Amino acid sequence: MVDERTHYIPSGCAISGIMAEDGGRFSGREIIESIAAMHFRSNGLGGGFAGYGLFPDHAEDYCLQMMYDDPSGREAAEAYLHERFEVVASEEIPTRPVEVVKNRPILWRYFLRVLPTTRQRHYDLTEDDVVVDSVMEINRSIDGAFVASSGKNMGVFKGVGFPEDIGEFYRLDEYEAYTWTAHGRFPTNTSAWWGGAHPFGLLDWTVVHNGEISSYGINRRYLENFDYHCALHTDTEVICYLVDLLIRKHGLNFEQAALVLAAPFWDDIDRMDEEEQQTAHALRVVYGGALLNGPFSVVIGHRNGMVGLNDRVKLRPMVAARHESRVFIASEEAAIRVVCPAPDKVWAAEGGKPIVAALKTPAAAMG
């Protein structure tokens, strides 16, 4: 029997994602079992999940899942939300007692629609832009309030603890989704706190990350040029905002975004054929401030799919598999086989090359 006090995975962090490309929804129990198989990559200081297709009765409403330190933070945030949105529904996020999950914040959920008066006032913004602006303002300016997720028909559930305990705490076995992602361990270079656990979300984008972004300072300053403000004190936050900028705002596809985030070395670009070389060179020049340096493997969730991406030299592990309509991405093959013992295909991710899974029938047009 392994002694968990003396045996750890030196590369740290566990990430996992499961998606049904046919849109079939399945219980959160599967993603809990998958991430629990990598228990020794975690350390009890952070864990979390994202799910898509959770709220079909509110599929077209923005779902803000909030964490509050105290009632005054909730009061201030709700006053702000009522100024900009119609609150269609409001409820406490259901939880169950789990002995090892302690010091929980106030957890609340709102289903929102942008008010006509807000659209008129911000006529030059899309509704998604209004939500992004609101998330930035709450996280940056309202003490004791933090937005955990802000997309449609999805949610992020995270906290301080081992991921399997966080999943039990949030009663994820009672939810169904067509895509689930999960993370175990704490955010790099950050003290453990509920808002700083993975996944990080903005609109329908969520990111779980194994590694460390040494370019965080450059990426953060670059994002400020586009009115994204990093308030969560961890390097992973920039990945989520860069994905929103590149894909939703600037219209890049996932392959192009990968050439920005995990940009090939100049020597590798020189060896590409002419068309690929022109594209890679242009993206590298235009988006130099968005290049992610450092080791990373990430799973990016969105309403229409799931993407896995390694850094360009593959300094963190990532394995993928397919079985019928299911796509699996994880740090370890064991996390896949515990929920899918006999996949049709298993392969290791290539450095800088995205693994793209997509709904056969899109949930909605992105952006």
Q: Do the beta carbons of residue 161 and residue 59 sit within 8 Å? A: no
Q: Name 91's bridge partners.
A: 109
DSSP output for 214-283? TTHHHHHHHHHTTT----SSSTTHHHHHHHIIIIIIT---HHHHHHHHTPPPHHHHHTS-HHHHHHHHHH
145-149 and 62-68 beta bridge pairing: antiparallel
Q: Give the pair of three-digit tokens for residue 269.
A: 């670009």
Q: Give the pair of three-digit tokens for residue 24.
A: 């079939």
SS3 179: strand
- Identify the active-site residue in 13, 63, 230, 240: 13
Read off the amino acid at residue 142.
I
DSSP output for 94-155? P----TT--S--EEEEEEEEE-HHHHHHTTTS-HHHHHHHHHHHHHHHSTTEEEEE--BSEE
Does the annotation count 13 as an active-site position? yes
- Cα 179 from Cα 155, distance rounded (Å): 11
SS3 74: helix
**Is it true that the peptide bond before 199 is cis, omega within 30 degrees of 0?**
yes
- Cα 104 from Cα 72, distance rounded (Å): 16
Read off the amino acid at residue 155.
G
- Cα 60 from Cα 152, distance rounded (Å): 6
Catalytic residues: 13
